[in-house]
Amino acid sequence: MTVLTATNLTKVYGGQKGAVPVKALDGFQLQVEEGEFVGIMGPSGSGKTTLLQLVGTIDKPTSGEVIIRNQKLSRLTGDGLALFRRRQLGFIFQDFNLLDALTLKENIILPLVLEGMPLATIEDRVYTVATQLGLRSELNRYPAEVSGGQKQRAAAARALIHQPALVLADEPTGNLDSRSAQSLMEALSSLNETQSTTILTVTHDPVSASYCRRILFIKDGRLFNEIRRGTDRGHFFHQILDVLATMGGESYDLAYARR
Protein backbone atom coordinates (compact mmCIF):
# COMPACT_ATOMS: atom_id res chain seq x y z
CA MET A 1 0.00 0.00 0.00
CA THR A 2 1.24 3.48 -0.87
CA VAL A 3 1.42 5.67 2.24
CA LEU A 4 2.79 8.87 0.70
CA THR A 5 2.69 10.36 -2.76
CA ALA A 6 4.14 13.78 -3.53
CA THR A 7 3.53 15.02 -7.07
CA ASN A 8 5.29 17.97 -8.74
CA LEU A 9 6.03 19.63 -5.41
CA THR A 10 7.29 23.16 -5.83
CA LYS A 11 7.95 25.63 -3.04
CA VAL A 12 8.98 29.22 -3.69
CA TYR A 13 9.91 31.59 -0.87
CA GLY A 14 10.00 35.37 -1.22
CA GLY A 15 9.22 37.21 -4.43
CA GLN A 16 7.13 39.91 -2.74
CA LYS A 17 7.96 43.59 -2.24
CA GLY A 18 11.08 43.30 -4.37
CA ALA A 19 12.50 40.25 -2.61
CA VAL A 20 14.29 37.76 -4.84
CA PRO A 21 12.26 34.52 -5.01
CA VAL A 22 13.99 31.33 -3.90
CA LYS A 23 12.81 28.00 -5.25
CA ALA A 24 13.40 25.50 -2.44
CA LEU A 25 11.73 22.61 -4.28
CA ASP A 26 11.30 22.33 -8.02
CA GLY A 27 8.72 19.82 -9.26
CA PHE A 28 9.80 17.15 -6.77
CA GLN A 29 8.25 13.68 -6.93
CA LEU A 30 8.17 11.11 -4.12
CA GLN A 31 6.38 7.88 -3.35
CA VAL A 32 6.74 5.90 -0.12
CA GLU A 33 5.20 2.47 0.38
CA GLU A 34 3.99 1.06 3.67
CA GLY A 35 6.87 -0.37 5.70
CA GLU A 36 9.62 1.62 3.95
CA PHE A 37 12.45 3.38 5.78
CA VAL A 38 13.45 6.27 3.50
CA GLY A 39 16.22 8.79 4.08
CA ILE A 40 16.55 12.24 2.54
CA MET A 41 20.03 13.71 2.16
CA GLY A 42 21.53 16.71 0.44
CA PRO A 43 23.61 19.88 0.95
CA SER A 44 22.36 22.74 3.11
CA GLY A 45 19.66 24.61 1.22
CA SER A 46 18.93 21.68 -1.08
CA GLY A 47 15.25 21.48 -0.07
CA LYS A 48 15.27 18.42 2.17
CA THR A 49 13.83 20.15 5.24
CA THR A 50 11.30 21.97 3.08
CA LEU A 51 10.15 18.60 1.74
CA LEU A 52 9.65 17.26 5.27
CA GLN A 53 7.69 20.38 6.25
CA LEU A 54 5.36 20.02 3.27
CA VAL A 55 4.78 16.33 3.91
CA GLY A 56 4.24 17.07 7.60
CA THR A 57 1.60 19.76 6.89
CA ILE A 58 3.80 22.34 8.64
CA ASP A 59 3.92 24.35 5.40
CA LYS A 60 2.00 24.38 2.13
CA PRO A 61 3.48 23.93 -1.37
CA THR A 62 3.40 26.71 -3.92
CA SER A 63 2.18 24.08 -6.34
CA GLY A 64 1.88 20.32 -6.47
CA GLU A 65 0.11 17.85 -4.20
CA VAL A 66 0.84 15.69 -1.16
CA ILE A 67 -1.34 12.62 -0.58
CA ILE A 68 -1.11 10.53 2.59
CA ARG A 69 -3.26 7.41 2.93
CA ASN A 70 -5.37 8.58 -0.04
CA GLN A 71 -6.04 11.95 1.61
CA LYS A 72 -5.11 15.03 -0.40
CA LEU A 73 -3.62 17.45 2.10
CA SER A 74 -4.69 20.45 0.02
CA ARG A 75 -8.31 19.65 0.87
CA LEU A 76 -7.71 19.88 4.63
CA THR A 77 -7.92 23.10 6.60
CA GLY A 78 -8.16 24.25 10.19
CA ASP A 79 -9.32 21.63 12.67
CA GLY A 80 -9.48 18.95 10.00
CA LEU A 81 -5.83 19.44 9.16
CA ALA A 82 -4.80 19.49 12.82
CA LEU A 83 -6.74 16.27 13.48
CA PHE A 84 -5.18 14.57 10.47
CA ARG A 85 -1.70 15.61 11.58
CA ARG A 86 -2.32 14.33 15.12
CA ARG A 87 -3.70 10.97 14.04
CA GLN A 88 -1.77 10.08 10.89
CA LEU A 89 1.69 11.59 11.48
CA GLY A 90 4.38 11.09 14.10
CA PHE A 91 7.20 13.62 14.49
CA ILE A 92 10.73 13.22 15.84
CA PHE A 93 12.61 16.53 16.07
CA GLN A 94 16.31 17.20 16.50
CA ASP A 95 15.66 19.15 19.72
CA PHE A 96 13.44 16.46 21.31
CA ASN A 97 10.52 18.87 22.03
CA LEU A 98 9.69 17.20 25.34
CA LEU A 99 7.76 19.05 28.06
CA ASP A 100 10.12 19.49 31.02
CA ALA A 101 7.30 19.48 33.60
CA LEU A 102 6.15 16.00 32.54
CA THR A 103 7.80 12.63 33.08
CA LEU A 104 8.94 10.67 30.05
CA LYS A 105 5.85 8.49 30.39
CA GLU A 106 3.57 11.54 30.47
CA ASN A 107 5.32 12.99 27.43
CA ILE A 108 4.99 9.72 25.51
CA ILE A 109 1.29 9.20 26.16
CA LEU A 110 0.22 12.74 25.16
CA PRO A 111 -1.11 11.71 21.70
CA LEU A 112 -3.31 9.04 23.30
CA VAL A 113 -4.56 11.37 26.03
CA LEU A 114 -5.55 13.92 23.38
CA GLU A 115 -7.52 11.17 21.63
CA GLY A 116 -9.29 10.27 24.86
CA MET A 117 -8.21 6.63 24.73
CA PRO A 118 -9.08 4.30 27.64
CA LEU A 119 -6.49 4.13 30.42
CA ALA A 120 -5.95 0.41 29.91
CA THR A 121 -5.09 0.98 26.23
CA ILE A 122 -2.74 3.81 27.14
CA GLU A 123 -0.92 1.70 29.73
CA ASP A 124 -0.56 -1.22 27.35
CA ARG A 125 0.80 0.89 24.53
CA VAL A 126 3.23 2.93 26.59
CA TYR A 127 4.88 -0.14 28.10
CA THR A 128 5.03 -1.83 24.70
CA VAL A 129 6.72 1.09 22.96
CA ALA A 130 8.96 1.81 25.96
CA THR A 131 10.16 -1.79 25.88
CA GLN A 132 10.84 -1.57 22.15
CA LEU A 133 12.94 1.56 22.68
CA GLY A 134 14.66 0.49 25.89
CA LEU A 135 12.96 3.02 28.15
CA ARG A 136 11.03 0.91 30.66
CA SER A 137 13.25 1.83 33.59
CA GLU A 138 13.24 5.55 32.70
CA LEU A 139 9.51 6.21 32.34
CA ASN A 140 9.03 7.97 35.68
CA ARG A 141 12.03 10.24 35.27
CA TYR A 142 11.89 13.80 33.96
CA PRO A 143 13.70 15.01 30.81
CA ALA A 144 16.26 16.89 32.92
CA GLU A 145 17.18 13.63 34.64
CA VAL A 146 18.05 11.58 31.55
CA SER A 147 20.61 11.67 28.75
CA GLY A 148 20.13 13.16 25.31
CA GLY A 149 19.84 9.69 23.83
CA GLN A 150 17.10 8.76 26.30
CA LYS A 151 15.26 12.02 25.57
CA GLN A 152 15.31 11.27 21.84
CA ARG A 153 14.10 7.71 22.38
CA ALA A 154 11.25 9.14 24.44
CA ALA A 155 10.48 11.54 21.59
CA ALA A 156 10.51 8.58 19.20
CA ALA A 157 8.16 6.66 21.51
CA ARG A 158 5.76 9.63 21.52
CA ALA A 159 5.87 9.69 17.71
CA LEU A 160 5.12 5.97 17.49
CA ILE A 161 2.61 5.33 20.28
CA HIS A 162 -0.50 6.30 18.31
CA GLN A 163 0.57 4.05 15.41
CA PRO A 164 0.65 6.76 12.74
CA ALA A 165 0.62 6.12 9.02
CA LEU A 166 3.98 7.88 8.67
CA VAL A 167 6.78 8.87 11.06
CA LEU A 168 8.74 11.99 10.06
CA ALA A 169 12.17 12.43 11.62
CA ASP A 170 14.05 15.70 11.15
CA GLU A 171 17.77 15.20 11.89
CA PRO A 172 16.89 12.83 14.78
CA THR A 173 20.55 12.19 15.66
CA GLY A 174 21.73 15.78 15.20
CA ASN A 175 22.11 16.45 18.95
CA LEU A 176 23.33 13.00 19.96
CA ASP A 177 26.78 11.52 20.44
CA SER A 178 27.74 8.67 18.13
CA ARG A 179 26.80 5.93 20.59
CA SER A 180 23.35 7.39 21.32
CA ALA A 181 22.78 7.99 17.62
CA GLN A 182 23.59 4.38 16.83
CA SER A 183 21.24 3.16 19.57
CA LEU A 184 18.38 5.29 18.26
CA MET A 185 18.85 4.27 14.63
CA GLU A 186 19.09 0.60 15.58
CA ALA A 187 15.80 0.94 17.47
CA LEU A 188 14.07 2.66 14.55
CA SER A 189 15.46 0.10 12.12
CA SER A 190 14.17 -2.72 14.32
CA LEU A 191 10.70 -1.17 14.52
CA ASN A 192 10.69 -0.73 10.77
CA GLU A 193 11.60 -4.36 10.21
CA THR A 194 9.43 -5.98 12.88
CA GLN A 195 6.41 -3.65 12.95
CA SER A 196 6.53 -2.35 9.34
CA THR A 197 6.69 1.19 10.69
CA THR A 198 6.91 3.62 7.77
CA ILE A 199 9.62 6.23 8.35
CA LEU A 200 10.82 9.23 6.34
CA THR A 201 13.89 10.92 7.80
CA VAL A 202 16.08 13.86 6.89
CA THR A 203 19.70 13.45 7.94
CA HIS A 204 23.15 14.79 7.12
CA ASP A 205 24.89 11.87 8.83
CA PRO A 206 26.01 9.03 6.53
CA VAL A 207 26.19 6.56 9.42
CA SER A 208 22.60 7.24 10.48
CA ALA A 209 21.49 7.18 6.84
CA SER A 210 22.96 3.71 6.39
CA TYR A 211 20.15 2.30 8.57
CA CYS A 212 17.59 3.38 5.97
CA ARG A 213 16.44 1.05 3.22
CA ARG A 214 16.37 3.71 0.52
CA ILE A 215 17.92 7.14 0.24
CA LEU A 216 16.94 10.07 -1.96
CA PHE A 217 19.59 12.73 -2.54
CA ILE A 218 18.30 16.24 -3.23
CA LYS A 219 20.26 19.05 -4.82
CA ASP A 220 18.85 22.47 -5.76
CA GLY A 221 15.32 21.29 -5.04
CA ARG A 222 15.47 18.32 -7.41
CA LEU A 223 16.23 14.63 -7.15
CA PHE A 224 19.94 14.10 -7.71
CA ASN A 225 20.24 10.37 -7.09
CA GLU A 226 18.56 7.44 -5.37
CA ILE A 227 20.11 4.29 -3.92
CA ARG A 228 18.71 1.21 -2.17
CA ARG A 229 20.28 -0.91 0.51
CA GLY A 230 20.95 -4.59 0.04
CA THR A 231 21.88 -7.00 2.80
CA ASP A 232 25.21 -5.33 3.60
CA ARG A 233 24.83 -2.09 5.55
CA GLY A 234 28.58 -1.46 5.40
CA HIS A 235 28.51 -1.51 1.61
CA PHE A 236 25.49 0.80 1.63
CA PHE A 237 27.34 3.23 3.89
CA HIS A 238 30.17 3.49 1.35
CA GLN A 239 27.66 3.98 -1.47
CA ILE A 240 26.25 6.92 0.50
CA LEU A 241 29.71 8.44 0.87
CA ASP A 242 30.33 8.05 -2.85
CA VAL A 243 27.13 9.90 -3.77
CA LEU A 244 27.81 12.67 -1.25
CA ALA A 245 31.30 13.10 -2.67
CA THR A 246 29.85 13.68 -6.14
CA MET A 247 27.27 16.20 -4.89
CA GLY A 248 29.61 18.76 -3.34
CA GLY A 249 28.26 21.83 -1.61
CA GLU A 250 28.39 20.36 1.91
CA SER A 251 31.20 19.95 4.41
CA TYR A 252 30.44 16.35 5.31
CA ASP A 253 33.11 15.08 7.67
CA LEU A 254 33.83 11.91 5.73
CA ALA A 255 36.96 11.18 7.73
CA TYR A 256 34.85 11.05 10.89
CA ALA A 257 32.13 9.05 9.14
CA ARG A 258 34.60 6.34 8.09
CA ARG A 259 35.66 5.64 11.68
Structural domain boundaries in the chain: 2-257
pLDDT of residue 256: 42
pTM for this model (two decimals): 0.92
pLDDT of residue 18: 65
Q: Write the DSSP string, the chain.
A: -EEEEEEEEEEEE--STTPPPEEEEEEEEEEEETT-EEEEE-STTSSHHHHHHHHTTSS--SEEEEEETTEEGGG--HHHHHHHHHHHEEEE-TT----TTS-HHHHHTHHHHHTT--HHHHHHHHHHHHHHTT-GGGTTS-GGGS-HHHHHHHHHHHHHTT--SEEEEESTTTTS-HHHHHHHHHHHHHHHHHH---EEEE-S-HHHHTTSSEEEEEETTEEEEEEE--S-HHHHHHHHHHHHHHH-SS---HHHHT-
Fold of 2-257: Rossmann fold (3.40.50)
Regions of the chain short of the pLDDT cut 50? 249-251, 253-259
**CB-side exposure of 182: number of CA atoms within 13 Å?**
4
